Each structure stands twice: as C-alpha cells, then as structure tokens.
C-alpha cells in the first residue's frame, strides 16, 4: 500500500469554531502556501525543506500553520490559498452551507414541505450529470411511510401479511417504545432546549426570510 506524504489538515481560524481544510501535495504548492502566509522565517527551516521532511515534522508544521490561520477568517484563507493554487476549503456550519453562493448557484438545495418539520431546504443530488441530472421529487420520508408501497406493490404481499408484520412490531410508522406518546407528538427538539444542550450554536428567528422559504 502506498504511503501518502501529502501535507493536509484542518486548521483553526478566527471566530467561534471556525476551521479551514488545507492540502499540499507538491513542493510547488508548498512554496505557494509559504508565499501566501508571508514567507515566515520558520518555513525556510531544513525540517520543512521537502515533502518527506514536512511529513516527518507534520505535528510541528501543523502548529505553525495554525498560528497563521488562527488570525484569519476561514473564508479569506480559502480564497487566498485557492488563488495561489493551493487546495483549501472553509469548513462550513449548517447556516454557511445553506447560504453558500456556490451551492446556491448550483441549486443544491431543494425546497419541500415535510409532514413533521414543515417547509425546509433539503440537500439535493451532490452532482449534476448531463444525461441524468437528478431531481429531488419529495422530502425525506417519515418512518414507514412507504411500507405498503414496497411490501404490496413491489413484493406482492397481501394486506393480511402486511398487517401481521405490523402487529408483530416488525414494521411500523412509530419508533419502538413510542406507543405511549400522544398522537400529536413530533420528534423535534424545541429550539431553546437544542440551544441549551449545544445541539444548536445559533438561531435566526427570520431564517425563512434569509433562506427564501414560503410560510407553511
């Protein structure tokens, strides 16, 4: 198995939990990275003179690179390095992904109304193929939403057979153990609780306006 000596890592940037991914696979790209960082004195150290040396000293090198990225905006690091010919990408949170100009230009997000969470922008196909571009015809399914369609129409099972599977708890439309929950229960954590437990780092009350979502 070949051993990759590529310099690559994810480096902290300025701001709360902001990061950038950087990869350098040649001496030319290394020189471009150094120039983008302002040609720091440590970059001329023999420990970083070639690909193998950089690989052997990657922990120290990661620390030094992060001293530079930590003072920079993650988007700006991405733009500067990409312009210099170095592979780099800002690590985006959910909001940044939803508002990313590149993803929006490529119509990556599809707007659908989900029966449990309402109208949302859902990630679509990752690529656009010329002959089969792909579409997102519906939102993500709920639990067991297509049981009858698959079991009856595709597998030819009778209604009695399907009912027996449901009565035995093999299939269903509610999670196991959720029978005692009221019918109005929705498995969505309230925003204040999500914020309190760290599941959400921030929340925009006008998110529908920001994302261009219609009201439910």
- For residue 59, give both structure tokens: 């922990």
What b-and-e string marks burial along 66-86, b requiring 16 or more CB atoms within 10 Å of the CB? bebbeebbbbebbebbeebeb
> Are 45 and 79 in the same domain?
yes
Tell me the pLDDT tens digit for each residue of 181-216. 665 555 667 788 888 888 888 888 888 898 888 887
> Are 134 and 146 in the same domain?
no
Question: Is 180 a domain residue?
Answer: no
> Are 14 and 72 in the same domain?
yes
Tell me the pLDDT tens digit for each residue of 8-60. 999 999 999 999 999 998 999 999 999 999 999 999 999 999 988 999 999 99
Question: Is 84 a domain residue?
Answer: yes
Residue 65, domain extent: 7-91
> Are 133 and 158 in the same domain?
no
16 and 201 in contact (C-beta within 8 Å)?
yes
Torsion 193-196-202-204 (CA) sign:
positive
H-run or E-run covering 89 = strand 87-91
> Are 103 and 83 in the same domain?
no
> Are 59 and 116 in the same domain?
no
> Are 81 and 155 in the same domain?
no
> Are 38 and 77 in the same domain?
yes
Instruction: Please tell me whether the overall predicted TM-score, pTM, comes out greater than 0.85 for this model.
Output: no
> Are 11 and 44 in the same domain?
yes
Nearest C-alpha neighbor of 7 from the set 67, 71, 74, 53: 53
Question: Is 201 a domain residue?
Answer: no
């Amino acid at each position: 198995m070949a051993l990759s000596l590529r310099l690559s890592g994810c480096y902290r940037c300025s701001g709360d939990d902001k990061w950038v991914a950087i990869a350098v696979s040649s001496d030319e790209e290394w020189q471009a990275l150094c120039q983008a960082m302002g040609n720091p004195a440590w970059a001329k150290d023999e420990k970083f003179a070639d690909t193998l040396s950089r690989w052997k000293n990657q922990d120290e090198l990661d620390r030094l690179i992060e001293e530079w990225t930590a003072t920079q905006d993650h988007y700006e690091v991405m733009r500067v390095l990409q312009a210099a010919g170095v592979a780099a990408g800002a690590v985006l949170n959910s909001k940044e992904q939803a508002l990313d100009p590149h993803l929006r230009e490529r119509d990556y997000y599809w707007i659908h109304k989900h029966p449990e969470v309402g109208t949302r922008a859902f990630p679509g196909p990752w690529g656009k193929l010329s002959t089969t571009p792909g579409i997102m015809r519906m939102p993500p399914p709920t639990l067991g939403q297509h049981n009858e369609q698959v079991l009856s129409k595709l597998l030819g099972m009778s209604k009695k057979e399907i009912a027996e599977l449901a009565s035995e708890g093999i299939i269903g439309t509610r999670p196991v153990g959720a029978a005692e929950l009221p019918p109005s229960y929705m498995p969505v954590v309230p925003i204040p609780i999500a914020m309190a437990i760290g599941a959400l780092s921030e929340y925009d009350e006008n998110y529908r306006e920001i994302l261009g979502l219609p009201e439910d």
